[in-house]
Amino acid sequence: MKKTLLLIITLFITGICFGQNEIIHVSKTHRDGTPKEVIIYEIVNDDLQSNNPFIVVEKISYDSKGNYVKPKISKNRGKIDLSTKEAAAETIFKALKQGDKMTFLKCVSPRVLNGLKGEGENIDKWVEIWIKDIQSEQFSLEDFINAVRIRKLDSKWMLDEN
C-alpha cells in the first residue's frame, strides 16, 4: 500500500515537473503501422473546449523503413529576413503569396498573436484569410507595404496588426 502511494505521488510530481505543452500526433501510417507523418502541436490555450487551443509547430515525414524524409523546400521558401521594414514586408508578402503559414506566423508580432489567442480567435483561420486576401488581390509589394503596419519590435521588423 505504501509503495503504491509513493509511486502515485512520484508520478504526479514527475508529471508536474516535466509536463509538456506539446502534443505529438501520428496523423498517417504506412501499411505496416510505422508512422508516415507526425504532427507536433503546441497547446496555446489550456481550455481544450475553446476554439483552436492548438497550433501546428512542425510536420515530420518518414519513409516506409522509418527513415526521416527531409521536406522539399524551394530555394527562397521559408527565408526570413526581418532586418529592415522593406525586407520584412517582402518576406511576409512572399510567404502569403506562397501560402507558407509557418514563415508568416514567425513574422507576426507576439502582441498580435497573444491578442488573438486571448480573444479566442482561430489563428489558422486568421492566417488563411490573410493568404486568401493576398493571393486573390492584385497587390504589388509596394501596395502591401503601404497597406499594412510593420513595426520594429526587439530589433526585428514584424507585422503588427490583425
Task: Return d(Cα 151, Cα 86) in angstroms, integer.
Answer: 11
- Do residues 100 and 41 both lie within one domain? no
Number of Cβ atoms within 10 Å of the Cβ of 57: 14
Instruction: Say if residue 49 is in the same domain as residue 98.
Output: no
pLDDT in tens, 80-135: 888 888 888 888 988 888 888 888 888 998 888 888 888 878 888 888 888 888 88
Of 7, 40, 69, which residue is a domain's last? 69
User: Mind giving me the DSSP string for 90-122?
Assistant: HHHHHHHHHT-HHHHHHTB-HHHHHHHHHTT--
Q: Are residues 96 and 123 in the same domain?
A: yes
Q: Are residues 90 and 151 in the same domain?
A: yes
- Is position 122 within any domain? yes
Question: What DSSP character marks residue 24?
Answer: E
What's the CA gap between 45 and 119, in Å, rounded? 11
What is the model's pLDDT at position 156? Answer: 87
pLDDT at 115: 85
Q: Are residues 91 and 53 located together in one domain of the fold?
A: no
Q: How many CA atoms lie within 13 A of 95 on its CB side?
A: 24
Residue 6 lies in a domain: no
Q: Quick one: which of 31, 52, 33, 34 has its CA closest to 43?
A: 52
Question: pLDDT by residue (tens digit) across 124-133?
Answer: 888 888 888 8
Task: State which residues form the domain around 130.
Answer: 85-159
pLDDT digits (tens, 9 = 90+) for 9-54: 776 666 655 556 778 889 899 999 889 998 888 777 777 787 767 7
Number of folded domains that form the chain: 2
Q: Which of 12, 41, 69 is the last residue of a domain?
A: 69
Is the pTM higher than 0.75? The answer reads no
